[in-house]
Amino acid sequence: MENGSILIYQSSDGQTAIDVTLENDTLWLTQKQIAELFGTQRPAITKHLNNLFKTNEIEENSVRSILEHTATDGKKYETKYYNLDAVLSVGYRVNSKNATRFRIWTNKVLKEYLVKGYSLNEKRLQETAQQFNALQQTVRLLSNVLEPNALSSDEASGLIKVLTDYTYALDVLDKYDHRSLTVEATHKQSSFIATYDEAMKAIHSLKDKFGGSSLFGNEKDESFKSSIATIYQSFAGVDLYPSIEEKAAHLLYFVVKNHSFSDGNKRIAAFLFVWFLEKNGLLYRNDGTKRIADNALVALTLMIAESKPDEKDIMAQVVVNLINGYN
């Protein structure tokens, strides 16, 4: 996936062939190419993109780039290109056979390129064995999610973001003298202590706001109370999870894995994770952007749900690595 390389996509009926520009590890297509890809007209693509931008489902500046394009007459023009996030989002709005084929194709490519054939400087990472092993396990966990599931556009984009953000974070850690994944750039001083009663009040507010079945948030046993207590557990006066980030990561893990509620366990876990970070003033960076994107949180929650019990530590490391001070 080198910058400037070309990938050819062809639909199964042999009618559609698109030159895909790969730049900064994502594909870029013009509106005309997207229309050809999905077997529709350019005005339809313009409409879908405008609606996506208007509703803030995707941010225009993050998915659009002005690239130099050479026309058939040899002249060079500046042309708007849209990346994979935009193409996927449009593809899930277009109703056509080509759009369906493309969704199948992207899931296949996602698995082949990002899970089976991820491209990293292996020699460099092997110099920091802990980081390299952590990345290998992360990729395997991504594979666990991809194997049994047909992913939506948002879930697929989330998995891509988890992997790209995680490898970026590893690179940053490497530059910082091979520091640990879990204990660097975290925050030790909590401004908020989560209690069982406060957490249940937050869960009930979630149900009231968005609706839900009568079983949503209904506790099956005492395990949720235990999850809240466990993140504050200590031994010999030392917290087992000393930072806010580690507490948040384990809260997400425990709520997903303990299945404490009759319905909505993953939604409740993701909500409490965000709630806990927000209450401690760590949900947003200094520039006002979220430390972890919504689709990446969806992907992490799915990864935790599919992970094995002996993978708890690596899952916690992944989560902490994506929300610590380096990101």
- How confident is the prediction along the chain (327 residues), in pLDDT tens digits per residue? 344 444 445 555 555 555 555 565 567 888 998 888 888 899 999 999 998 888 887 888 888 888 776 767 777 878 888 888 888 888 878 877 777 777 766 666 655 554 444 444 444 444 445 555 555 565 556 555 555 555 555 555 555 555 555 444 444 334 333 434 444 668 888 889 999 999 999 998 888 776 667 888 899 999 999 999 999 999 888 999 999 999 999 999 999 999 999 988 998 999 999 999 999 999 888 888 888 877 778 778 888 888 888 889 888 888 887 888 766
Cβ–Cβ under 8 Å, residues 255 and 227: yes
- What pLDDT shows up at residue 229? 96
- 299-303 long-range contacts (CB < 8 A, ≥24 apart) are 299/145, 299/155, 299/158, 299/159, 299/161, 299/162, 300/158, 300/162, 300/252, 301/252, 301/256, 301/266, 301/269, 301/270, 302/145, 302/149, 302/155, 302/266, 303/141, 303/142, 303/144, 303/145, 303/162
Length of the chain: 327
Is 71 a member of any domain?
yes
How many whole angstroms separate alpha carbon 228 and alpha carbon 234? 13
How many whole angstroms separate alpha carbon 133 and alpha carbon 13? 42
Which helix (H) or strand (E) segment is 64 a member of?
A: strand 64-70
Counted domains in the chain: 1
Which helix (H) or strand (E) segment is 77 a member of?
A: strand 76-83
Is 98 a member of any domain?
no
Residue 220: C-alpha distances to residues 195, 202, 211, 212 (Å) = 18, 18, 20, 17
Is 19 a member of any domain?
yes
- What pLDDT shows up at residue 73? 75
DSSP state letter for 241: S
How many whole angstroms separate alpha carbon 49 and alpha carbon 44? 9
Q: What angle do CA 237, 188, 158 make, to 5 degrees?
A: 125
Is 23 a member of any domain?
yes
Is 164 a member of any domain?
no
Is 128 a member of any domain?
no
Count the neighbouring beta carbons within 10 Å of the beta carbon of residue 291: 16
User: Which residues, 6+ apart, have CB-to-CB distance to 39 below 8 Å?
Assistant: 16, 96, 97, 98, 99
**212 φ, ψ (degrees, to nearest 5):** 165, 165
- What pLDDT shows up at residue 307? 86
- What pLDDT shows up at residue 26? 65
- What pLDDT shows up at residue 149? 55
Q: What angle do CA 69, 93, 158 make, to 5 degrees?
A: 80
How many whole angstroms separate alpha carbon 292 and alpha carbon 86? 19
- What pLDDT shows up at residue 27? 74
Residue 168: C-alpha distances to residues 88, 171, 322 (Å) = 23, 5, 10
Q: What angle do CA 235, 237, 241 make, to 5 degrees?
A: 60
Q: Which residues is 77 bridged to in the sheet?
A: 69
Is 152 a member of any domain?
no
Enclosing domain of residue 58: 6-91
Residue 140: C-alpha distances to residues 90, 128, 179, 310 (Å) = 29, 19, 23, 13
Is 194 a member of any domain?
no
